[in-house]
């Protein structure tokens, strides 16, 4: 009971502090995420390797702004030779750290958190995950080709720091 009372008091203090600061407004950097709003079809090639034999991957991704315009919500439906599923992700911007954020969850039990940067027409998302007790670095790169298409590449690096391509492909916007 003490834990619930303490949690409730913390929530009240947080709400009081937020009220003193005034309403938050979306960071200007969030407007750059407008590029991703719409319905996208992704076609990729998964390279053979330690995760399986590789093969083709297709995905339909529906992207829209969450009310308030602080986060994009992405709904994915994916199919590949290595498994099918659905996912949801949230894209935003952290003004304190000056990085974009990407948090994803899917029906295969995977969860990921990445930090992103934008340089010209290239988005670079990085993260670290533990696999088999070892830290693996991940890098997902998106290169805007036009208002309705981009290329993508997913790479991983082990303890040696050398990145290897896991998947490459292209995305096309339907609307």
Tens of pLDDT, residues 12-43: 555 555 556 667 899 999 999 999 999 999 99
**Is the model's pLDDT at 3 over the cut of 80?**
no
**Which of 94, 152, 160, 98 minimizes the C-alpha distance to 123?**
152
Comparing 5 with 31, the larger pLDDT belongs to 31
Q: Compute φ and ψ for 162, nearest 5 degrees.
A: -85, 125
How does pLDDT run across 36-63, given as a tens digit for each residue? Answer: 999 999 999 999 877 778 899 999 999 9
Class of residue 175 by CB neighbours under 10 A (exposed 0-12, middle 13-18, buried 19+): exposed
Comparing 24 with 72, the larger pLDDT belongs to 72
Residue 103 near residue 113, CB atoms below 8 Å: yes
Comparing 172 with 2, the larger pLDDT belongs to 172
**Domain residue spans of the chain:** 25-173
At the topology level of CATH, where does 25-173 sit?
Answer: Lipocalin (2.40.128)
**Is the model's pLDDT at 10 over the cut of 70?**
no
This prediction's pTM: 0.84
How does pLDDT run across 116-150, given as a tens digit for each residue? Answer: 999 999 999 999 988 778 888 999 999 999 999 99
Residue 18 pLDDT: 54
Residue 15 pLDDT: 54
What is the rounded average pLDDT for all residues in the chain? 89
């Amino acid at each position: 009971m003490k834990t619930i009372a303490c949690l409730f008091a913390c929530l009240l203090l947080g709400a009081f502090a937020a009220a003193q600061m005034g309403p938050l407004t979306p960071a200007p950097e969030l407007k750059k995420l407008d590029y991703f709003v719409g319905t996208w079809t992704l076609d990729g090639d998964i390279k053979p390797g330690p995760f399986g034999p590789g093969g083709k991957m297709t995905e339909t991704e529906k992207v829209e702004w969450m009310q308030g315009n602080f986060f994009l919500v992405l709904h994915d439906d994916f199919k590949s030779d290595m498994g099918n599923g659905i996912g949801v992700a949230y894209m935003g911007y952290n003004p304190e750290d000056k990085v974009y954020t990407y948090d994803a969850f899917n029906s295969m039990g995977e969860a990921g958190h990445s930090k992103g940067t934008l340089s010209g027409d290239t988005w670079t998302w990085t993260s670290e995950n533990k696999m088999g007790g070892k830290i693996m670095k991940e890098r997902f790169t998106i290169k805007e080709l036009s208002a309705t298409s981009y290329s993508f590449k997913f790479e991983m690096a082990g303890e040696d720091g050398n990145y290897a391509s896991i998947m490459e492909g292209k995305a096309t916007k339907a609307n």
